[in-house]
């Protein structure tokens, strides 16, 4: 057995944090942040959206966790781990001082329970696939075994996990909030209401949840790494971007994403000159094409016409340069990204030629719907796409759709076209392709395009097994090439997160994983 590093650095993530922390941190105060909507649940078995993840990352904790920047994997309730030379057997030492929010000690049995709860098909977890490589999972799901044989409690503080095959991103996957440890006693106590009463082992614990208004977290005094500096962490549910900015500038919020329309204003304001922070995120935005719906699903020329018609440079200008135009599923600098690849150029004439090849020289005499989330800035972007497509004879109606309905439509294939985005669940290229492109991820696993390509499946499986970074790079470049040829997802952009904090906030670092963690943040009184 060999010792694994306790931190794992991502490849090439650019992170800029312009604000300097004050010399001495101190305890106390309330940090007031935002999400777009009420998350409804923080149950790790049910997480599926950004609004959930950004709060869950501060409440939940598993064997390992992400650093606030998202650049490193740090110990969580496991203080150390070792892996066998063949990478098939992992052992995790559970720290003696790890406690749940209800005061119970965290044990290896709790971790086993938590993982099996996510794996169990009865929970219908959208992230259950992160455990697919664990030995005995298939038998457990099929009801042929009472437990997952590959998750073994060796003693109270020693957990062993056996994989059916070595998996390069395994440790990174365990940093996902969906792999958090939860209290079995609390699950039994709260039943169906556990999602609103989550008991885990993270730095903050649930305090007050006012439906559709806000959620308040309190510092967990017995957190193994020491209580957070903040007394309270409050998330207000504010969909409207203008409202967020007005409240932040009025001192009623401490943190918000900066809409493009406000960027020049705040960047010139001396009160905020040290409070703007920026990060290239592990994100890809795309138009998902339902491959089971006509005419787009079976007509490659139509999908290519859409991509040539879209003016992503105009979108980038509308965002004041705050995106990278996609050349595939992987963000710039990330393993799998091909620095020599170039984006599809906007070429209306080529798009019209492809429309003719597709059998629609005069356009399509039909109006299609393109679904998106109801964010002001996103709707403006969709209007650019709508005009682009109208130029080549494709009429689309923009359909803003609220969270639950939106996610359900994607998962069940009840849509024609949809704008969507993937933020990596774990810091590995596998996080972008296994959910989206693997045929086994259809129906709840993330493959919302319902895309099937045996060559892609084979390459994804090879990439998961390969440990040599150069060989993995070649594999993922090939995946990206095929993905850009087939276009089940019309990859458009990689987000650059730009946020603003009030001047009193210190030591906030924007997350490349878009899961902002605040246990090392403090506020000046």
Predicted confidence (pLDDT) at residue 10 exceeds the cutoff of 70: no
Grade residue 514 by pLDDT with cuts at 50, 70 and 90: confident
Say whether both 418 and 510 belong to one domain.
no
Predicted confidence (pLDDT) at residue 103 exceeds the cutoff of 70: yes
Predicted confidence (pLDDT) at residue 104 exceeds the cutoff of 80: yes
Residue-wise pLDDT for 345-383, tens only, equals 999 999 999 999 999 999 999 999 999 999 888 999 999
Grade residue 427 by pLDDT with cuts at 50, 70 and 90: confident
Mean pLDDT of the chain: 91
Q: How many domains does the structure of the chain reveal? A: 2
- Residue 271 inside a domain? The answer is no
Say whether both 387 and 515 belong to one domain.
no
Query: What are 155's two structure tokens?
Result: 């003693």
pLDDT for 16? 36
- Residue 404 inside a domain? The answer is yes
Do 228 and 234 contact (CB within 8 A), yes or no? no
DSSP state at residue 21 = P
Do 307 and 296 contact (CB within 8 A), yes or no? no
Following DSSP, what letter does each residue of 388-427 receive, concatenated?
HHHHTT-EEEEEE--HHHHHHHHHHT--SEEEEEEE-SSS
Grade residue 274 by pLDDT with cuts at 50, 70 and 90: confident
Query: What are 448's two structure tokens?
Result: 């919302």
Say whether both 511 and 485 belong to one domain.
no
Predicted confidence (pLDDT) at residue 21 exceeds the cutoff of 50: no
Say whether both 318 and 390 belong to one domain.
yes
Q: The pTM is what?
A: 0.81
pLDDT for 5? 33
Residue-wise pLDDT for 235-258, tens only, equals 999 988 889 999 998 899 999 988
Say whether both 451 and 515 belong to one domain.
no
- Residue 223 inside a domain? The answer is yes
Which stretch of 46-50, 166-170, 237-241 has the lowest confidence by average pLDDT? 46-50
- Residue 257 inside a domain? The answer is no
CATH number of the domain to which 23 belongs: 3.40.190.10
Q: What is the mean pLDDT of residues 25-41?
A: 93
CA distance 515 to 512: 8
Say whether both 428 and 326 belong to one domain.
yes
Say whether both 489 and 518 belong to one domain.
no
Do 344 and 308 contact (CB within 8 A), yes or no? yes
pLDDT for 260? 80
**Dmax over Cα atoms in the chain, in whole Å?**
70
Query: What are 234's two structure tokens?
Result: 């409050």
pLDDT for 23? 62
Following DSSP, what letter does each residue of 83-133 receive, concatenated?
E-TTS-EEEEEE-TT-B-TTSPBP-HHHHHHHHHHHHSGGG--TTGGGGTT
Going from the C-alpha of 78 to that of each of 107, 325, 395, 471, the distances in angstroms are 10, 39, 53, 30
CA distance 44 to 300: 38
- Residue 128 inside a domain? The answer is yes
- Residue 258 inside a domain? The answer is no
Which stretch of 24-38, 205-219, 256-270, 347-361 has the lowest confidence by average pLDDT? 256-270
Say whether both 161 and 185 belong to one domain.
yes
Half-sphere exposure of 476 (CA within 13 A, CB side): 30
Q: What is the mean pLDDT of residues 495-500?
A: 88
Q: What is the mean pLDDT of residues 500-524?
A: 89
- Residue 458 inside a domain? The answer is yes
Instruction: For 314-394, list the strands marked E by DSSP.
Output: 323-325, 367-372
Predicted confidence (pLDDT) at residue 2 exceeds the cutoff of 70: no
Percentage above 70 pLDDT, the chain: 96
209: helix, coil or strand? strand
Q: What is the mean pLDDT of residues 393-401?
A: 97
Say whether both 214 and 356 belong to one domain.
no
Sign, CA torsion 56/59/64/69:
positive
pLDDT for 257? 87
CATH number of the domain to which 469 belongs: 3.10.105.10
Say whether both 320 and 224 belong to one domain.
no
pLDDT for 146? 97
Say whether both 157 and 196 belong to one domain.
yes
Do 508 and 277 contact (CB within 8 A), yes or no? yes
Say whether both 509 and 463 belong to one domain.
no
Predicted confidence (pLDDT) at residue 508 exceeds the cutoff of 80: yes
Strand partners, 236: 34, 214
Residue-wise pLDDT for 402-425, tens only, equals 878 998 999 999 999 999 998 887
Q: For the stretch 236-259, what's the b/e string if a residue is b when 16 or more beta carbons lie within 10 angstroms of its beta carbon?
A: bbbbebebbbebbbeeebbbbbbb
Q: What is the mean pLDDT of residues 13-39?
A: 71
Predicted confidence (pLDDT) at residue 20 exceeds the cutoff of 50: no
Instruction: For 140-280, list the strands marked E by DSSP.
Output: 151-155, 158-162, 204-210, 214-219, 232-237, 255-257, 276-280
Q: What is the mean pLDDT of residues 387-401?
A: 97
Grade residue 69 by pLDDT with cuts at 50, 70 and 90: confident
Query: What are 286's two structure tokens?
Result: 């795309």
Predicted confidence (pLDDT) at residue 517 exceeds the cutoff of 80: yes
Predicted confidence (pLDDT) at residue 210 exceeds the cutoff of 50: yes
- Residue 169 inside a domain? The answer is yes
CA distance 349 to 497: 34
Domain span at 165:
2-231+502-523
Say how far residue 444 (Cα) sits from the centre of its chain: 15
């Amino acid at each position: 057995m060999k010792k694994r590093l306790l931190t794992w650095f991502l490849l090439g993530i650019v992170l800029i944090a312009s604000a300097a922390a004050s010399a001495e941190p101190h305890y106390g105060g309330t940090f007031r942040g935002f999400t777009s909507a009420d998350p409804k649940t923080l149950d790790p078995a049910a997480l599926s959206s950004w609004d959930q993840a950004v709060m869950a990352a501060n409440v939940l904790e598993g064997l390992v966790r992400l650093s606030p920047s998202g650049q490193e994997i740090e110990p969580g309730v496991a203080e150390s781990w070792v892996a066998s030379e063949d990478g098939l057997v992992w052992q995790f030492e559970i720290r003696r001082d790890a406690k749940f929010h209800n005061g119970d000690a965290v044990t290896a049995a709790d971790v086993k329970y938590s993982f099996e709860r996510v794996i169990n098909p009865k929970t219908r977890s959208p992230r259950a696939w992160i455990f697919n490589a664990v030995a005995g999972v298939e038998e457990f799901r099929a009801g042929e075994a009472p437990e997952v044989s590959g998750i073994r409690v060796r003693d109270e503080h020693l957990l062993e996990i056996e994989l059916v095959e070595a998996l390069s991103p395994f440790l990174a996957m365990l940093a996902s909030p969906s792999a958090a440890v939860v209290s079995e006693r609390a699950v039994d106590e709260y039943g169906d209401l556990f999602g609103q009463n989550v008991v885990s082992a993270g730095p903050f614990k649930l305090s007050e949840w006012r439906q559709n208004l806000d959620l308040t977290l309190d510092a967990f005094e017995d957190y193994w790494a020491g209580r957070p500096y903040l007394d309270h962490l409050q998330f207000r549910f504010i969909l409207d971007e203008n409202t967020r900015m007005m409240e932040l500038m009025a001192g009623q919020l401490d943190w918000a994403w900066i809409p493009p329309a406000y960027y020049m204003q705040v960047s010139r304001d001396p009160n905020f000159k040290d409070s703007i922070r920026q990060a290239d995120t592990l994100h890809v935005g795309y138009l998902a094409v339902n491959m089971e719906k006509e005419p787009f699903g079976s007509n490659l020329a139509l999908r290519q016409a859409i991509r040539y018609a879209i003016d992503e440079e105009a979108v980038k200008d509308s965002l004041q340069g705050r995106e990278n135009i996609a050349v595939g599923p992987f963000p710039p600098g990330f393993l799998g990204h091909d620095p020599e690849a170039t984006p599809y150029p906007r070429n209306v004439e080529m798009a019209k030629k492809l429309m003719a090849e597709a059998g629609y020289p005069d356009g399509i005499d039909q109006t299609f719907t393109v679904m998106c989330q109801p964010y002001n800035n996103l709707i403006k972007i969709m209007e650019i796409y709508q005009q682009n497509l109208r130029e080549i004879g494709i009429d689309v109606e923009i359909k803003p759709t609220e969270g639950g309905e939106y996610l359900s439509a994607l998962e069940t294939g009840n849509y024609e076209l949809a704008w969507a985005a993937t933020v990596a669940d774990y810091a590995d290229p596998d996080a972008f392709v296994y959910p989206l492109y693997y045929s086994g991820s259809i129906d709840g696993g993330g493959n919302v395009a319902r895309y099937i390509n045996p060559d892609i499946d084979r390459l994804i499986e090879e990439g998961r097994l390969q440990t040599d970074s150069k060989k993995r790079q070649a594999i993922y470049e090939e995946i990206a090439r095929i993905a850009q040829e087939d276009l089940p997802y019309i990859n458009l952009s990689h987000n650059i997160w730009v946020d603003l904090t009030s001047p009193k906030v210190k030591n906030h670092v924007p997350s490349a994983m878009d899961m902002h963690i605040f246990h090392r943040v403090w506020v000046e009184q």
